[in-house]
Amino acid sequence: MAAKQASTGASAIPPVRRVRQTTMLAYGFGAVAYGVKDFCFSTFLLLFYNQVLGLPSAQVGFAIMCALLLDAFIDPAIGFLSDRTRGRWGRRHPWMYASAAPIALGWLLLWNPPAWSQGAMLAWVFATAVLVRTAVSAYEVPSQALSPELSADYDERTRIMAYRYLFGWAGGMAMLMASYGWFLADGLLERRGYVGFALAGAIAMFVAILVSALGTHREIGRLPRPEIERQSLGANFRELRESVRNRAFLILMAAGICYYSAQGISYALSNYLYAHVWGFRGADFQWLGLILLLGVIGAFLIAPRVAKRTGKPLAAMGFMMAAATLLTLPYWLRLAGLFPEPGSPVLVPLLLSIFTVNATCAVSSTILGASMMADVVEHSEVETGRRSEGVFFAGAFFVQKCTSGLGIFVAGSILALAGFPEAAKPGSVPVETVDRLTILFAALYFGLGFAAAFFYRRFPFGKDEHLARVERLAAGEMPAGG
């Protein structure tokens, strides 16, 4: 199979080029959809069903985690089918266009459940979470698979990912600030605010997807179109297994599982921690969104430059270690009695300053992880004779969605272990309960963050190896190993 593809020229790779700015902006803007979904899903979904609707936190977390289990099959299937899609719109754009309406519909249903029994409402959150996740996968997996197809340049891929993460975080932060300052300004526990919240999110995601698909449409003719033979279902699955056994891919998957699970726990517990540990009120949440956005802009500017000097694996490891240390440091200092108390005029500015640097480091590590995933495509092509962008980014996207699935489940379990009460108002929870919550969260996040750094450092190749591989592929050479 590999030999035949090589002989027909089907292994053509994208040019080593700098992508035009308008294409880069349109491509990056599509990530607004995932940013809105991810931040709202991770930050508000457990709170909404637990504190607003009164369902037990552990059961809500379990229902959402069960929805995540289906992703283990849905995401790779979409990636594999996208790789094998053929037509005048190429491999990726048919999926991108078709996903816009289902994402918007699923989002509206998720945040507007009927007044049913507890068991029926748990079934509702499971079913609508599956709908939203599947629709988001149908857009995000093919869209992410475009990144290695736009350019084969080692450093340009980091720039492409920097734009994608900038827009993704900007969309999420904008929705976060609008939620705290407008839709949920009357209180996070007021259900009526979630009606406008859901509608705004649905519109934002629908528009972002269509703008990105239309803005990158003219690139279709430049994208690789490897020849694919018709073959049996069993042969298709054997190809899929062969692709995902790639060592570099598995290392990035391990790093992603560690970090995105930590991030998911942090997002799901964020409102609990801000309100009950730090005593945030009203405008404090507004500043939080703005400050985190500044951290993302810092990552957009810094990550490509640092990676160009040190290489992606070393830079990703350093950024990840710094992120894990910075985020948990205030909690350890609080437990030791060395951090300002809630109500102190220096507490919020100090926390926001730390969180800004933390965001810069955390987002920088994820930008570089995604850029390394793009480089895995040629590494795999040398070994298998196939370009499997969709398969690899499906795996990466599945890991990202652990942010809102496994993270919410673990967060619900942490709340149960800490003995945190439902519908608790700030100031009413015993200090011992808040301390237990703090210890469980900080210890788990720190451990997962350093585990992710460990795996990033073990990524098996850098710029020189990648460029040599691209040159061999461009010359039509298909060696047996990477």
Specify the pLDDT at position 400. Answer: 77
Which H/E stretch holds residue 154?
A: helix 154-178
Specify the pLDDT at position 180. Answer: 85
3-state SS assignment for residue 340? coil
Specify the pLDDT at position 238. Answer: 74
For the chain, what is the mean pLDDT? Answer: 89
Q: What does the alpha-carbon distance between residue 409 and residue 261 come to, in Å, rounded to a whole number?
A: 10
**Mean of pLDDT values over 166-176:** 92
Whether residue 235 is predicted with pLDDT greater than 70 in this model: the reply is no
Are residues 168 and 205 in contact, defined by beta-carbon separation less than 8 angstroms? no
Whether residue 90 is predicted with pLDDT greater than 80 in this model: the reply is yes
Instruction: Categorize the per-residue pLDDT at 147 as very low, low, confident or very high, splitting at 50, 70 and 90.
Output: very high
Specify the pLDDT at position 309. Answer: 95
Ranges 75-89, 130-144, 442-456: which has the least confidence: 75-89
**Mean of pLDDT values over 361-370:** 96
Specify the pLDDT at position 77. Answer: 87
Specify the pLDDT at position 407. Answer: 76
Specify the pLDDT at position 236. Answer: 63
Specify the pLDDT at position 237. Answer: 66
Which residues contact residue 149 at a Cβ distance below 8 angstroms, ignoring those fewer than 6 apart? 14, 92, 223, 224, 389
Ranges 3-7, 15-19, 244-248, 326-330: which has the least confidence: 3-7
Specify the pLDDT at position 376. Answer: 95
Q: Kindly report whether the global pTM for this prediction surpasses the value 0.85.
A: no
Specify the pLDDT at position 158. Answer: 96
Which residues contact residue 431 at a Cβ distance below 8 angstroms, ignoring those fewer than 6 apart? none
Which residues contact residue 278 at a Cβ distance below 8 angstroms, ignoring those fewer than 6 apart? 342, 347, 348, 351
Instruction: Categorize the per-residue pLDDT at 214 as very low, low, confident or very high, splitting at 50, 70 and 90.
Output: very high
**Mean of pLDDT values over 35-46:** 89
**Mean of pLDDT values over 118-139:** 94
Specify the pLDDT at position 12. Answer: 65
Angle at 200 between CA 199 and CA 204, to 5 degrees: 120
Ranges 27-41, 283-297, 324-338, 355-369: which has the least confidence: 283-297
Whether residue 72 is predicted with pLDDT greater than 80 in this model: the reply is no
| pLDDT digit string, tens, across residues 366-387 | 999 999 999 999 999 888 888 8
Specify the pLDDT at position 3. Answer: 37
Q: What does the alpha-carbon distance between residue 445 and residue 439 come to, in Å, rounded to a whole number?
A: 10
Instruction: Categorize the per-residue pLDDT at 233 as very low, low, confident or very high, splitting at 50, 70 and 90.
Output: low
**Mean of pLDDT values over 398-427:** 81
Whether residue 68 is predicted with pLDDT greater than 90 in this model: the reply is no
**Mean of pLDDT values over 203-219:** 97
Q: What does the alpha-carbon distance between residue 143 and residue 267 come to, in Å, rounded to a whole number?
A: 24
